[in-house]
Structures are given as C-alpha cells and as structure tokens.
Amino acid sequence: MELVKKLRIENELGLHARAAAKIVALAGQYKASLFLKKEEQEVEGSSILSILTLACPRGTELVARATGEDSEMLLSALSSLFEQKFGEGK
C-alpha cells in the first residue's frame, strides 16, 4: 500500500537536527518505509542526514510518501508530529 500526504512545516526553527531526529525515530516504529519530498528532491525518512540536507525552513511544503502495510498509521502519526510542531510549542 502506498499513501501520499502533503505536510507543511509550521515550527519556527524549521527542520533542524532535533526535529529531524524525531521524524527518524517515528519512522522507525512502523513497518512501512517513509520518504519525504521537497520540490524535486526525495529522501528516505529513516536518514537523519538526508532530512537535514533538505534544509527546510518554516513554511516549507513537503510531500510524505509511505509504502507498506501500516502506511496509514505512519502518515497520521507523522502529520500529528508536524501539527504539534515537533513538540516545540510553536
């Protein structure tokens, strides 16, 4: 099963190291594979370094793609992580 979801980075600091680490940790909890795409560049959601190289400031739109049996759960957890601004309050 492959699912796609649009996400927007709302936290002030953008996708810095701690936020990226949270995505990697979250992706690791599911069987599905996660990919994040910014414009034409797509990276693995399990790679903290690739996520950092996307260099996403606040307001960046990303497309998350998940493949695997629990894709739906992965994407919904991911989008709530984005909505909660990676637990940074804002």
Active-site annotation, residues: 16
Binding residues for other proteins, rule CB under 8 A, total: 23
Q: Which of 6, 29, 39, 55 binds other proteins (CB under 8 A)?
A: 55
- Asked if 64 and 7 touch (Cβ cutoff 8 Å), the reply is yes
Q: Does residue number 14 form part of the binding site for other proteins (CB under 8 A)?
A: yes
Q: Does residue number 13 form part of the binding site for other proteins (CB under 8 A)?
A: yes
Can you tell me the distance from the alpha carbon of 30 to that of 18, in angstroms, rounded to the nearest whole number? 20
Can you tell me the distance from the alpha carbon of 27 to that of 46, in angstroms, rounded to the nearest whole number? 6
Q: Does residue number 4 form part of the binding site for other proteins (CB under 8 A)?
A: no
